[in-house]
Amino acid sequence: MMFTQTVDLAKASVRSLNEKLHALDLEHDGERWRVLNPRGAHAIACGLRVPITIEIEGHAGYYCAGMNQKATVIVHGNAGTGLAENMMSGLVQVNGNASQCAGATGHGGLLIIEGHASARCGISMKGIDMVVKGSVGHMSAFMAQAGNLVVCGDAGDALGDSIYEAQLFIRGTVKSLGTDCIEKEMRPEHYRILEPLLKRSGCDASPSEFKRFGSARKLYHFQIDHAALY
């Protein structure tokens, strides 16, 4: 595979890498960059705004690919806290596991995690699509407002606590549901959402194997009878 440019973080700083990436404009559409020796460094490939591809050869630290717009970022390893935080568009893929708060506050784009994701996966998501091929930890999709979280494995405690209108599709077992999150019927329109997400992420699971969870909508307006739940 031909790369436009290779940056070795054993010789260069993350700051210098990000400065080069931020200087790119649409004339660089389609370029492929390679990052060597990330060694768990934080904030790699953050704030990208052009449709390029970046492949990170190793483990990334906190906030990798945060605020991504249009770019494709592939991590050939694990990723730390806040992966693709506040992502707006594009594609982020981790070929290992992700730590807590993956996809937090994401507005758009697709985040694929080939392994497992830790606690608070998809917290406060606002339109992002996420596919986790393994399992997710406790408090995943806490206060999730919009978008779709697909989990091919299991979900930990308090799934979807205080959820708004995001949709959660879980293939495995759910340890417990959070406040105001309930199981909902899978209707044809939900299969039409789930099937292309599975296909785009390279997951061969059948949509019929998933259950859907979402908001019971009891906390949208304050009611004294529900005061203990707020």
224 contact partners, CB below 8 Å, separation of at least 6: none
H or E stretch at 56: strand 53-57
Q: Give the sign of the dihedral formed by CA 200, CA 84, CA 114, CA 130.
A: negative
Domain residues for the domain of 63 are 5-229
CA distance 37 to 40: 9
What CATH number does residue 120 fall under?
2.160.20.60
Decide if 57 contacts 35 (C-beta within 8 A).
yes
What is the residue-level pLDDT of the chain in tens, covering all 230 positions?
A: 688 999 999 999 999 999 999 999 989 999 999 999 999 999 999 999 999 999 999 999 999 999 999 999 999 999 999 999 999 999 999 999 999 999 999 999 999 999 999 999 999 999 999 999 999 999 999 999 999 999 999 999 999 999 999 999 999 999 999 999 999 999 999 999 999 999 999 999 999 999 999 999 987 766 767 666 55
The predicted pLDDT at position 222 comes to: 63
Domain tally, the chain: 1
Q: Which two tokens stand for residue 84?
A: 């693709």
